[in-house]
Amino acid sequence: MASRESGAVLAIDIGGTKFAAGLVGADGEIIVARRVATPPGGDAGTLWTALTGLVDTVVREGNDRPVIGVGVGCGGPMTWPDGEVSPLNMPGWRGFPLRERLAGRFPGVPVRVHNDAVCVAVAEHWRGAGRGSADMLGMVVSTGVGGGLVLGGRLIDGGTGNAGHIGHVVVDPDGPACECGGRGCLEAVARGPALATWALSHGWLSGRAQPSGPAAAAPGGEGAQRPEAPGEDLLRSGLPGEEVLRSRVPGEDVLRSRVPGEDVLRSGVPGEDVLRSGVPGEDVLRSGVPGEDVLRSGVPGEDVLRSGVPGEDVEGAGVVSSRPEGDRGSEVLYVEAERASGRRLAEDAAAGDPVARAAFARAGRALGIAIASATSLCDLGLVTVGGGLSQAGPLLFDPLEHALREHARLAFAARVRVVPAALGQDAGLIGASALILAADHYWTAPDPR
Ligand SMILES: [Zn+2]
């Protein structure tokens, strides 16, 4: 078997937006790395083919340096350590035996799969902002909110490998529904798409910095709706923003928001609800899939795939066909990073738009509350925060600090420091490699047979 010196670890980072693979040397330095867009809507075989093509390219570009192990970070949920993965944002893989399939391609070396956010936390602890910290939580705030927990210098896995799920710590029991089935989880408040949704529902118009706040954005005040038209029954749910105008025309029910310009045209076809902004070129096709809302520009070839996360909407331009030919939703979506909404939210916040700023403040506050709770529970010294949203800087970190100091009052908890992550988009690969290269700290399970 090749020595650690001559060989390299194959590191893989699998997400709903992109696949990354790289060869990582013994010191954690990336020798070669490649990224490809995740095939949208790909079935199990399509996803696997894309991954193996990427892996083959990387191994070839590494001059066929011997692979001494394979470390993988993948979106959850998954069985651990068996590595059967069912990433929420990749419906093509449900119970996909990722570890076993990779082990078949790389026989005789360890193949280890862990949660992608855990890998980022491991990377920050091993080679990033958390170096030297004994007790640390590494967080990723992106299309989801995830984390990994290091106590006593070792990764804590918990009973099923799921320790560190800070995204599902409850910060507001009366808050928004979470995709996990719960309510008021940190992720439901602070994930990128939740910021964009909240901002849109409070009068933010993407890319048009507002001169005033939500109140002025709703000149008629609450209830300033158009009246029912003939053929439209009004169904009142009793919940704000949940009145429905039932048209007698199928596919034309309207969910009335109390915010002007935010009525939703319910088509009844999944993935085809439309958020009516009232501004030409700014209707939003709601796909129901996180990170796949579409800003309809009305100009062919200029629709935008919105992730809602600053800087993570889309990597490069591409053409995405989301539905079978002939389906009404089969419009080709031309993806254009410059117009993506998450980045615009950050830009508008930086430009002083009060709704955009409030969206970041709300997320920062939720993060501070969750971090205070985690700190009290685990006696943390350090928390690293990475992911697209952390790029917003003080817009996010200032309200985070404020809420944290408000809630972390005991002396041991008050010592906690929160810092931006240091490793950027390579963190996932570096952390995945550490599952092999620094296994004494970061891999506690027996290797599956
Ligand atoms: Zn949740």
Please tell me the distance between residue 87's alpha carbon and the centre of ligand 1 in angstroms: 15
Please tell me the distance between residue 52's alpha carbon and the centre of ligand 1 in angstroms: 32
DSSP 225-259: -PPPPTTEEEEP-SSTT-EEEEESSTT-EEEE-SS
Assess whether 32 and 80 both reside in one domain: yes
Assess whether 331 and 359 both reside in one domain: no
Please tell me the distance between residue 167's alpha carbon and the centre of ligand 1 in angstroms: 7
Q: State which of 295, 314, 337 marks the end of a domain.
A: 337
| Statement: the pTM of the whole predicted model exceeds 0.75 | no
Please tell me the distance between residue 182's alpha carbon and the centre of ligand 1 in angstroms: 5
Assess whether 372 and 319 both reside in one domain: no
pLDDT digits (tens, 9 = 90+) for 369-419: 999 999 999 999 999 999 999 999 999 999 999 999 999 999 999 999 999
Please tell me the distance between residue 187's alpha carbon and the centre of ligand 1 in angstroms: 6
- The pLDDT, as a whole number, for residue 3 is 61
Is position 137 within any domain? no
Residue that wins the pLDDT comparison between 303 and 353: 353
Is position 260 within any domain? yes
Residue that wins the pLDDT comparison between 109 and 260: 109
Domain that holds residue 282: 215-337
Please tell me the distance between residue 418's alpha carbon and the centre of ligand 1 in angstroms: 23
- The pLDDT, as a whole number, for residue 89 is 87
Please tell me the distance between residue 286's alpha carbon and the centre of ligand 1 in angstroms: 21
Assess whether 53 and 115 both reside in one domain: yes
d(CA 320, CA 340) in angstroms, rounded, equals 15
Is position 353 within any domain? yes
Alpha carbon dihedral 236, 240, 245, 246, in 10-degree steps, equals -60
Assess whether 255 and 180 both reside in one domain: no
Q: Of 397, 413, 407, give the one whose Cα is nearest residue 135.
A: 413
Report H helices in 292-353: 341-350
Is position 139 within any domain? no
Assess whether 329 and 365 both reside in one domain: no
Kindly calculate the radius of gyration of the chain based on its CA atoms and give it in whole angstroms. Answer: 23
Assess whether 115 and 170 both reside in one domain: no
Mean pLDDT of the chain: 78
Assess whether 72 and 116 both reside in one domain: yes
Q: What is the number of domains present in the chain? A: 3
CATH number, position 436: 3.30.420.40
Residue that wins the pLDDT comparison between 37 and 337: 37
E strands, 257-312, are 263-266, 273-276, 283-286, 293-296, 304-306
Secondary structure percentages of the chain, helix, strand, coil, to 5 = 30, 25, 45
Please tell me the distance between residue 193's alpha carbon and the centre of ligand 1 in angstroms: 14
Residue type, 385: V
Whether residue 279 has pLDDT greater than 70: no
Is position 196 within any domain? no
Contact between 288 and 193 under an 8 Å Cβ cutoff? The reply is no
